[in-house]
Amino acid sequence: MKENKASMTSLLSAFGRAYHSKYGKPVMFDDFLAQDLISEKEHSDICDHLIQGISFFSKDMAQELQDKPDDILKWVIQVQLSPTPLARAAYCEKVLLNEMMLGVKQYVILGAGLDTFCFRHPEVTNGLDIFEIDHYASQEDKINRLKRLDFDIPSHLHFVPMDFAASLSFSRLYQEGFSRQKTFFSLLGVSYYLTKKHLARLLTQLFDQVPPGSSIVFDYADQSLFEDKGLSNRVENMVKMAAASGEPMLSCFSYEEIEKVLESSGLLIYEHLSPAAVNERFFSGRTDYLTAFETIHFIHAVKK
């Protein structure tokens, strides 16, 4: 994350969700508001950049889809850009809605980016306080986008600017109304950018403040992240793009490593989805390019 600059990663993630909401058949995750948060110029610039960059992603596809910009865009988005953001968001929100039925009163989104859950689910207004945590520049950028759309910020949505990778401050959360109630955390698309030490420390700090039964959903990369090129080199491309954007990927874990990290924070793995399991649950039977990313796993962990 570059200082004083909004996250390009979160913008690209929102772009992928918006594209899927409009063109996905069937839609696995309908972020019907993502498009509204992206300006026409940003949308045009991203489309142009992805189409013109086809040779970076695949020289073979650049040749095969030559002079077919719409087909190029679809291939880049569905193969390279959106599979993980779509599947992890669908998984996380399904778990969250179930946890709400089990008594969760607070939802803390770490690295919220351009998340739209609060506005897509107004029915939770009276039952859930939502705390969005992100870097100041990214959060300011999102708030400005909401203002331009004349979105009213509901009283149960709390913005908490913070670089939680460097220093997690619960005092800021408490100032916004956070309390020691049963809480659900999401940490999507973040663990790769933290060192192993920072991730372990963050989980311990988070769950020191909440009662048993509180839980978290996050995604992580396994130990093949920096070795497995993936379908059409997409894993290698993901690592390169992250570095080029100023947000390099820093860590990956074996299952045994991530299990030990969670145990040290008093957490038990309730559910673990391997890449194969993610593919079976979210991408089975599709006739487009969408398939689960190699190396990316999902976890739902619960405090004992």
> pLDDT tens-digit profile of 278-290?
999 999 999 999 9
Neighbouring C-beta atoms of residue 26, cutoff 10 Å: 9
CA distance linking residue 107 with residue 217, whole number of Å: 11
Instruction: Kindly report, residue by residue over 33-65, the tens digit of the pLDDT.
Output: 999 999 999 999 999 999 999 999 999 999 999
User: Per-residue pLDDT for 291 more than 90?
Assistant: yes
Instruction: Kindly report, residue by residue over 165-217, the tens digit of the pLDDT.
Output: 888 889 999 999 999 999 999 999 999 999 999 999 999 999 999 999 999 99
Cβ(142)–Cβ(114) below 8 Å: yes
Cβ(183)–Cβ(106) below 8 Å: yes
User: Looking at residue 166, what is its pLDDT?
Assistant: 81
User: Per-residue pLDDT for 5 more than 80?
Assistant: no
Could you tell me the domains of the chain? 83-303 (3.40.50.150)
Burial environment of residue 240 by CB neighbours within 10 A (0 to 12, 13 to 18, 19 or more): middle
- What residues contact residue 44 under an 8 Å CB cut-off, 6+ apart? none
Mean pLDDT, the chain, integer: 94
pLDDT interval class at 2 (50, 70, 90): very low
Residue 236: its H or E element: helix 234-244
Nearest alpha carbon to residue 139 among 108, 112, 164, 166: 112
CA distance linking residue 266 with residue 177, whole number of Å: 25
pTM of the predicted structure, to 2 decimals:
0.95
Tokens linked to 37:
């948060």
User: Per-residue pLDDT for 1 more than 90?
Assistant: no
- What residues contact residue 39 under an 8 Å CB cut-off, 6+ apart? none
